[in-house]
């Protein structure tokens, strides 16, 4: 049973749909006592998971049970917010109709970052993942709800060929769509009625952790949303600011008030990350203080410190990200592995309410519904990335000119590597192969 589930998930190319795309067959090849379905969807404006939990509730519950069976977990939880009313009702019905008494819903407060897997593990189980660790270290597996739906489909032989994406912000009709993996971002914007501003910028993912992207980019197995914003929006300006400006401002302006540390979710879990200290190191150029500098490795880059904590417009998040990059380039690894005994007492009062965060981000005008359109729009051409997951890029198994059917394997995991299979998401002819495989409908 266990091997069959893991084998089916591997064959279907399932990866974490809500994060960096860790291959799911590797993640569930473990022994834990609890599995948590992550339906928190804490990034403002994104609606994908809440819609999915309402319309695919049965598959999500089945996927959760399959991962429990694969990992030997005795308890399963679905973490979501009470404002997702349709999702709560339908998941409750699904759990009871399937008769899974080992699974229950866990209602989360509406705060950011409720969907951070370390935060979620603590909310649900009271356990604290050690510094530099993963939920597995405390006997838990956390899986996004779309990933679990894909697991349920995998055991029926269906590979991952579609992705649910919210297209929102400055578009005529914000919408959540199911589209073939490899669909161009420009096609998504057109399907949402087109932009309402010019010139515009695009964010792939949520406003907090998403990255700037271009209309030529394509949907991957991890794309959760595309946000269109005017180029002059503060969020866009913040994401475009280069490292030298970030560092210079940190040196010139940081008053070491600690407000960033006060809201840091990892600090509040008891980890020794203190962003204000890292800022101090930058300000004083004390790079020989490796004990402090290497604490940057403990940062999840959630952005709570810069978008909510700091009133001076500084970015401890970007400082930590750059330090991590430079340290890794120099061959250094995270030396901090402490296991906190308890979360900070003030944690409960320092959660960031989503509504206030949306206002702080200047996104209130865009905080609107993005209804789910179940019917998949016709897509004539896709470009499917060979690397849309953690691990080695998949190795093409097709050649230019080959005819492929939707669901055919077009690239496989290199021998002995961590990775994920890639499948054709539309039926057609292979027209290009580089770091993406282009397929055009014929």
Binding interface with ligand SF4 (CB under 6 A):
254-260, 264-266, 273, 275-276, 279, 299-305, 309-310, 312, 314, 316-317, 320
Beta carbon nearer to ligand SF4, 52 or 235: 235
Cβ of residue 243: shortest distance to ligand SF4, in angstroms?
15
CB of 289 to ligand SF4, least distance (A): 16
CB nearer to ligand SF4: pick between 42 and 254: 254
**DSSP code per residue over 382-427:** EEEES--SSSSPPEE---TT-EE-TT-EEEEPPTT-S---EE-SSS
Tokens of 185: 């971002």
Is 96 or 256 the residue whose CB approaches ligand SF4 more closely?
256
CA dihedral 419, 425, 430, 436 (to 10 degrees): -40
- Indicate the residue among 254 and 281 with the shorter CB distance to ligand SF4: 254
Of 108 and 259, nearer to ligand SF4 (C-beta) is 259
3-state SS class at 248 = helix
Tell me how far, at minimum, the Cβ of 7 lies from ligand SF4, in Å: 36
Tell me the closest approach of the beta carbon of residue 318 to ligand SF4, in angstroms. Answer: 9
Closer to ligand SF4 by CB, 40 or 259: give it. Answer: 259
In the bound state with ligand SF4, the residue whose beta carbon lies nearer, of 302 and 413, is: 302
CB atoms within 10 A of CB 345: 8
Strand pairing class (162-169; 225-230): parallel
In the complex, least distance from residue 267 CB atom to ligand SF4, rounded to whole angstroms: 6
Closest CB 129 distance from ligand SF4, rounded Å: 13
Bridge partners, residue 140, by sequence: 34
Q: Which helix (H) or strand (E) holds 235?
A: helix 234-240
Q: Which residues pair with 372 in a beta bridge?
A: 176
How many angstroms separate the CA atoms of 177 and 67, rounded?
26
In angstroms, the CA 421 to CA 247 distance is 40
Report in angstroms how near the CB of residue 256 gets to ligand SF4 at its nearest. Answer: 5
Inter-residue contact 316 to 304 (CB < 8 Å)? no
Whose CA is closest to 343, among 121, 35, 76? 121
């Amino acid at each position: 049973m266990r091997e069959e589930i893991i084998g089916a998930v591997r064959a279907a190319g399932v990866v974490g749909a809500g994060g960096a795309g860790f291959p799911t067959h590797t993640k569930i090849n473990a022994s834990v006592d609890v599995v948590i379905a992550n339906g928190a969807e804490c990034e403002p404006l994104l609606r994908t998971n809440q819609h999915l939990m309402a319309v695919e509730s049965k598959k999500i519950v089945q996927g959760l049970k399959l991962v429990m069976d694969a990992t030997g977990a005795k308890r399963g939880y679905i973490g979501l917010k009470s404002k997702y009313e349709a999702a709560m009702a339908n998941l409750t019905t699904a759990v009871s109709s399937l008769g899974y008494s080992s699974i229950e819903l866990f209602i989360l407060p509406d705060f950011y970052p409720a969907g951070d897997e370390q935060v979620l593990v603590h909310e649900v189980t009271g356990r604290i993942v050690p510094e530099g660790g993963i939920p597995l270290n405390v006997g838990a597996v956390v899986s996004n709800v779309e990933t679990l739906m894909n697991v349920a489909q995998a055991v029926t032989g269906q590979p991952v060929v579609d992705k649910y994406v919210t297209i929102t912000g400055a578009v005529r009709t914000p919408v959540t769509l199911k589209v073939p993996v490899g669909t161009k971002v420009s096609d998504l914007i057109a399907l949402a009625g087109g932009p309402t501003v010019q010139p515009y910028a695009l964010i792939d993912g949520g406003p907090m952790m998403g990255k700037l992207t271009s209309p030529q980019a394509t949907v991957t197995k991890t794309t959760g949303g595309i946000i269109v914003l005017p180029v002059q929006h503060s969020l866009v300006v913040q994401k475009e600011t280069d490292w030298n400006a970030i560092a210079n401002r940190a040196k010139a302006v940081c008053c070491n008030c600690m407000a960033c540390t006060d809201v840091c979710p990892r600090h509040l879990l008891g980890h020794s990350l203190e962003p204000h200290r890292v800022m101090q190191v930058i300000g004083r150029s004390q790079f020989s203080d490796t004990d402090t500098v290497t604490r940057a490795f403990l940062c999840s880059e959630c952005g709570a410190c810069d978008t909510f904590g700091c009133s001076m417009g500084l970015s401890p998040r970007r400082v930590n990200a750059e330090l991590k990059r430079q340290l890794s380039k120099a061959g250094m690894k995270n030396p901090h592995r402490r296991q906190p005994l308890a979360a900070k007492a003030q944690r409960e009062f320092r959660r960031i309410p989503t509504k206030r965060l949306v206002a702080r981000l200047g996104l209130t005008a865009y905080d609107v519904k993005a209804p789910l359109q179940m019917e998949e729009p016709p897509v004539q051409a896709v470009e499917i990335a060979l690397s849309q997951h953690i691990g080695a890029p998949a190795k093409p198994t097709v050649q230019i000119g080959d005819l492929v059917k939707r669901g055919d394997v077009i690239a496989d995991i290199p021998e002995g590597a961590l990775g994920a299979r890639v499948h054709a998401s539309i039926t057609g002819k292979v027209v290009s192969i580089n770091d993406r495989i282009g397929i055009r409908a014929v």
